Every structure is written in structure tokens, then in C-alpha cells.
């Protein structure tokens, strides 16, 4: 291989190639973080539990969040298994876990113990409430964590209870994605000063951080109404979704004056006095009522034909299945297939970098190889021998 070929190959490598991460199996944000790291080239070794880790008992081999991992199943109640994890940690750049505070310490895999064996280790801890505070030991899910940060109260129409935003804000945006950011940040620091870091990543904190822009609006007097009465929560008639005659939906995001003007002209309302003062909140309910009736008068295809060409922040509201076939997503190859399962392509993208091709997770697929790499015996054999020995007395 020529020098030029080697340099080109070096440039094309995934950005996290060469990084090794141990992931203690969990649900929600921790596997999302593991997916993001693996998507960009990190070698993520998932330590799964006997019987799986998902309380909903879904088929984990169909779980997109687990893609592109190496995997070994270990019973962390057994000392032989704990020692194998510790030896893997000695070879790794980092570890991520999503247990409640104190659980990994009781298992013998807490940050103090692991960083004695690997002083540059990045130890990522993912919880709902954080490692400290009066709620830290309590159970919860995405909905609970975002309810305490002011986030959930801002979501949904004004005449109904707050609407759960799937589990996108706590688990994924304010949880797993924030942990991935924290992990890479701590990794850079460790490579600078030779010292590891412990990351205390809490979904309640993360969802609060995602509300920073809303706090900016609040401080500028632009977020002072009830839910569904503000600029970005569906209160503004020019930043809302509307149902069409065929039961499908469209989204209008014409905040800026030029886009608002183009939108009004396209739908025949540019001279209507009701719409002359875009930010007059007293008129917003009447404006929304008029627009609702207008969009309900025709099928979505008509509105697409009319509004799509004029660049006014108009889009269709697509289902997951619709999104796969949309022209823009096809051209961008925003979705891919791995082992027969359609899924989102890794994001973000990097120039001069070959993307990781996702592969679906397979239980214990790397057991023999991983044990061989650290020269460890299979703990299942040791446990079986111990049980057999005990049964003879």
C-alpha cells in the first residue's frame, strides 16, 4: 500500500475507531448512548444479563438500539463474571452503565474499583435523577424525569393534559445523547491529562438543559402564556400542525416575516386584516380557526402542490413508514437496512469518513472471542463445576 493510500484510508476511518467501551446492559438511554458510539466506530462490548435486560421482553435481536455491538452474557451476581468485566475494563477507554446509584458498587464494578484498575477510564453513569439529591434512589421513567424539569408542562394542547413526547426528551435527547457527548468530552480530557473522569448524567438535568431556548424566550417576554398559547408550543397559528380533508396532516413553521408573507400569499390570505399583525396574540385563536377550516377544505396533496414549491417552511407530517419513501430521505439515504430490519442511518455524518454499516445484535455472539482475548475461562463452566461439586456432599 502506498503512502497516499495509507493516508487516504486513515482519513476515511470512522471518527471513534480505536475506542473501546464496555456497556453494562440496560434499557433506554444507556443503549442509545452505546448505539451512538458504535455508529461512529467505537468498539462497544455489551455485557448482557441472563434472560435479557428488557422488562418488556421484546425480541432484543430486533432492537435497533443494540446494533453494531460485540456481546457477551454474564451473570454479575457471580464473582467469576464480575472479574471478567473488570479485566475487560482494563483494556477499555470507558464504561457506561444505567443502574440506580449504589448498584454497581455492590456488584464490585463501581467507578472507584474500576479506576484503580484503569486510571484513564471514562466512567459514564446514566440515571433519571442523578447520583445525588432527595429523588436519586427512586424509580422513574422518561415521563417522570421530564415532568420535574418544566419540560412536560409545556407540551400538548391547552385543553388537554400534557402530552408525552414519546421518550425522546428524557431517554434519548437529554439522556443517551448527552451521555455520548459527555463520554467523548471526558475521553478528550483523559487523553490530555492522563486521568479518567466519572460522568454523572441525569435525564432530569438533561431535559432541563434542552429547555434553555425556552428560558431565553421567557426572559424576553415571548413565553409567558399557558401551554398551547406560546410561540413554539402550537399556540402560534404560523407554527402549528393542521389536518387536511383526507385526515392527513401538514406542518407550518413560517416564523420569519418573509416566510409568513409567502405562506399567506400562497393560501390567498395576504390581504386579510385578521392576519396582518403576525404576532398579535389576541388574534391567534381566530387565525388558527380560519387556517384549520382552510386546510380541512382540501386533501393534503393539494397543499403540497401549492406550498412545497414556494419555500415557506411547509412540510407534510409523515409517519415512520412514509418517511422511508420520501424523496429527500431516499436521496440522502437517511434510512438503511441491517439484517432485514429497516432503521435510521447513523448520524451525524462526517466528511471524508466511511460510515459504519449497522449490524443487528446477536446474543452472546462474541463470547468465545472476548474470553480468549483476556485469557479467561468461561464462568458458566466454573459455576457448573462448583454446583456439581456441591451436589456431591
Q: pLDDT confidence of 56, banded at 50, 70, 90?
A: low
Q: What is the pLDDT of residues 235-258, one digit of tens each?
A: 999 999 999 999 999 999 999 999
Residues in the chain: 393
Report the share of the chain in percent with pLDDT over 70: 93
Judge whether residue 1 has pLDDT over 90.
no
CATH number of residue 13's parent domain: 3.40.50.10540
Q: Are residues 285 and 144 in the same domain?
A: no
Q: What pLDDT is stored for residue 329 in this prediction?
A: 97
Mean pLDDT of the chain: 93
Q: What pLDDT is stored for residue 392 in this prediction?
A: 44
pTM for this predicted structure: 0.92
Q: Is residue 233 part of a domain?
A: no
Determine whether 312 is exposed, middle or buried from the number of CB atoms within 10 Å of its CB (0-12, 13-18, 19+).
buried
If we measure between CA atoms, which residue out of 313, 154, 293, 177 comes closest to residue 231? 154
Q: Is residue 220 part of a domain?
A: no
Q: Are residues 154 and 284 in the same domain?
A: no
Q: Is residue 217 part of a domain?
A: no
Q: Is residue 105 part of a domain?
A: yes
Distance (Å, whole) CA 180 – CA 39? 11
Is 40 labeled as catalytic in the residue annotation?
A: no
Judge whether residue 229 has pLDDT over 60.
yes
Q: Are residues 123 and 249 in the same domain?
A: no
Q: Is residue 391 part of a domain?
A: no
Is 141 labeled as catalytic in the residue annotation?
A: yes
Q: Are residues 204 and 283 in the same domain?
A: no
Task: Give yes or no for a contact between 217 and 284, defined as CB atoms under 8 angstroms apart.
Answer: no
Q: pLDDT confidence of 389, banded at 50, 70, 90?
A: low
Q: Is residue 108 part of a domain?
A: yes
Q: Locate cell 414556494: which residue?
A: 310
For strands 122-127 and 94-97, give the pairing: parallel
- Catalytic residue from among 39, 48, 142, 171: 171
Q: Is residue 13 part of a domain?
A: yes
Q: Are residues 9 and 108 in the same domain?
A: yes
Q: Are residues 11 and 56 in the same domain?
A: yes
Half-sphere exposure of 135 (CA within 13 A, CB side): 14
Judge whether residue 9 has pLDDT over 60.
no
Q: Are residues 69 and 198 in the same domain?
A: yes
Q: Are residues 74 and 167 in the same domain?
A: yes
- Catalytic residue from among 75, 141, 326, 366: 141
Judge whether residue 390 has pLDDT over 70.
no
Q: Are residues 43 and 131 in the same domain?
A: yes
Number of domains the chain is built from: 2
Q: Domain range for residue 256? A: 239-317
Judge whether residue 378 has pLDDT over 70.
yes
Q: Is residue 336 part of a domain?
A: no
CATH number of residue 283's parent domain: 3.30.1540.10
Amino acid at each position: 500500500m502506498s503512502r497516499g493510500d495509507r493516508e487516504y484510508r486513515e482519513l476515511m476511518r470512522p471518527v471513534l475507531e480505536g475506542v473501546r467501551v464496555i456497556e453494562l446492559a440496560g434499557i433506554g438511554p444507556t443503549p442509545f448512548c452505546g448505539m451512538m458510539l458504535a455508529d461512529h466506530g467505537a468498539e462497544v462490548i455489551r455485557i448482557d444479563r441472563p434472560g435479557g435486560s428488557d422488562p418488556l421482553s421484546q425480541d432484543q435481536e430486533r432492537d435497533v438500539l443494540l446494533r453494531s455491538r460485540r456481546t457477551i452474557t454474564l451473570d454479575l451476581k457471580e464473582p467469576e463474571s464480575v472479574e471478567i468485566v473488570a479485566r475487560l475494563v482494563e483494556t477499555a477507554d470507558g464504561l457506561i452503565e444505567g443502574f440506580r446509584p449504589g448498584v454497581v458498587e455492590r456488584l464490585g464494578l463501581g467507578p472507584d474499583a474500576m479506576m484503580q484498575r484503569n486510571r484513564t477510564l471514562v466512567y459514564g453513569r446514566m440515571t433519571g435523577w442523578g447520583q445525588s439529591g432527595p429523588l436519586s434512589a427512586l424509580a422513574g421513567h422518561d415521563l417522570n424525569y421530564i415532568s420535574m424539569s418544566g419540560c412536560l408542562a409545556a407540551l400538548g394542547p391547552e385543553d388537554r393534559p400534557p402530552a408525552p413526547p414519546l421518550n425522546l426528551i428524557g431517554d434519548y435527547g437529554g439522556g443517551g445523547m448527552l451521555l455520548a457527548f459527555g463520554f467523548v468530552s471526558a475521553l478528550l480530557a483523559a487523553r490530555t491529562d492522563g486521568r479518567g473522569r466519572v460522568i454523572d448524567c441525569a435525564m432530569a438535568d438533561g431535559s432541563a438543559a434542552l429547555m434553555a431556548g425556552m428560558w431565553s424566550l421567557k426572559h424576553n417576554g415571548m413565553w409567558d402564556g399557558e401551554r398551547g398559547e406560546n410561540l413554539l408550543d402550537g399556540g402560534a397559528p404560523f407554527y402549528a400542525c393542521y389536518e387536511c380533508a383526507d385526515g392527513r396532516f401538514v406542518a407550518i413553521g413560517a416564523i420569519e416575516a418573509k416566510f409568513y408573507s409567502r405562506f399567506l400569499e400562497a393560501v390567498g390570505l395576504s390581504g386579510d386584516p385578521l392576519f396582518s399583525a403576525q404576532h398579535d396574540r389576541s388574534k391567534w385563536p381566530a387565525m388558527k380557526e380560519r387556517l384549520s377550516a382552510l386546510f380541512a377544505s382540501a386533501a393534503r396533496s393539494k397543499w403540497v402542490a401549492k406550498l412545497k414549491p414556494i419555500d415557506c417552511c411547509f412540510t407534510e407530517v409523515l409517519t415512520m413508514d412514509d418517511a422511508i419513501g420520501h424523496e429527500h430521505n431516499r436521496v440522502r439515504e437517511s434510512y438503511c437496512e441491517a439484517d432485514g430490519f429497516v432503521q435510521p442511518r447513523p448520524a451525524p455524518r462526517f466528511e471524508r469518513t466511511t460510515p459504519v454499516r449497522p449490524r443487528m445484535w446477536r446474543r452472546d455472539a462474541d463470547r468465545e472471542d472476548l474470553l480468549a482475548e483476556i485469557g479467561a475461562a468461561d464462568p458458566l463452566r466454573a459455576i457448573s463445576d462448583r454446583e456439581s461439586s456441591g451436589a456431591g456432599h
